Amino acid sequence: MINTQGKYDPFVFLFVMWNQILRNFFFYYTDKDKFFKEGKAFGGDGGSSFDDARDLGLVTTGADRHRCVSIELHWDRGGDNKLTSICFNYGKTSDRYNHVGKHRGRDRGKVDSLELNQDAFILQPNDAIEKITVYIGRRQRFLWDPRTIPIVTAIQFYTVKGHVSDLFGSTTDAEQITEHFPGYTFAYAKGRSGLWVDKLQFIWLKTQERVVSEEAAYF
């Protein structure tokens, strides 16, 4: 760096560089978290935990980050059409054909019988999920065990461009909860799964739009 006498001063250079390092460190551990918001955890504590960002190695920030491009779902076809598995698929803008995702729930999403329905919700380019409705109900884990556990029985998605998915699963004897953070869109999912989709938690990414209120809406 050049001092007031017009000469190169290595101490000034080191001071400026160290100040920049401290600023970057402070930004990473403080302001970075302001771009993400964790939603509520819906469901019970059965199964084992998952985190799509961690498990799939998602790039969650930057212009070429991973975005949710589709969701695959399976649910029972019998009298109680509860959700059995879900898979959020993510892709980068620079690579439209290579998507990553992992089924959470029964048999890792395999459909090997006529007892299961299967469907998918595919997002259009440059669209994103801005609101999600989940249904939480208590179900028997096994037919011979009368005890029940809370699980995710159904789910529905709403996008920024006004598209609404079908309602996947069963709403019978289930509580409906809709999560929406103004100014945020869905980034990735966390939760718990085993025989069913035991729990879902959504991570939301702040958009560039002006946010009138950062309070979540549950209804």
- Summarised one tens digit per residue, pLDDT across range 40-93 is 999 999 999 999 999 999 999 888 999 999 999 998 876 666 889 999 999 998
97: confidence class by pLDDT, cuts 50, 70, 90: confident
Question: Are 118 and 74 in contact, with CB atoms under 8 Å apart?
Answer: yes
**Per-residue confidence (pLDDT) for residue 114, from 0 to 100:** 53
CA pseudo-torsion sign 107, 111, 112, 117:
positive
Sheet with 48-51: list strands edge to edge: 36-43, 197-206, 184-193, 48-51
Q: How far is CA 162 from CA 2, 127, 180, 190, in A?
A: 56, 9, 14, 25
Give the mean pLDDT of 105-124. 75
96: confidence class by pLDDT, cuts 50, 70, 90: confident
Q: Is pLDDT at 20 greater than 70 in this prediction?
A: no
Q: Which of 4-13, 28-37, 165-174 has the lowest mean pLDDT?
A: 4-13
Q: Is pLDDT at 177 greater than 80 in this prediction?
A: yes
Question: Are 116 and 132 in contact, with CB atoms under 8 Å apart?
Answer: no
Q: Tally helices (H) and strands (E) across the chain.
A: 2, 14
The mean of the pLDDT values for the chain is: 82
Burial letters for 42-63: b for 16+ Cβ neighbours within 10 Å, e otherwise? bbbebbeebebbeebebebeee
Sheet with 148-159: list strands edge to edge: 168-169, 148-159, 129-140, 174-180, 217-218
214: confidence class by pLDDT, cuts 50, 70, 90: very low
What is the domain partition of the chain in residue ranges?
Answer: 37-218
Give the mean pLDDT of 181-205. 96
% of the chain with per-residue pLDDT over 70: 74
**Per-residue confidence (pLDDT) for residue 167, from 0 to 100:** 95
More confident residue, 165 or 118: 165
Q: Which of 16-30, 101-115, 179-193, 204-218 has the lowest mean pLDDT?
A: 16-30
25: confidence class by pLDDT, cuts 50, 70, 90: very low
**Per-residue confidence (pLDDT) for residue 118, from 0 to 100:** 87
Residue type at 57 in one-letter notation: G
Helices (H), the chain: 10-29, 52-56
In angstroms, rounded to a whole number, what is the distance separating the alpha carbons of residues 156 and 165?
A: 6
Is the domain covering 37-218 a CATH 2.100.10.30 domain? yes
Q: Is pLDDT at 108 greater than 60 in this prediction?
A: no
**Per-residue confidence (pLDDT) for residue 6, from 0 to 100:** 55
**Per-residue confidence (pLDDT) for residue 210, from 0 to 100:** 42
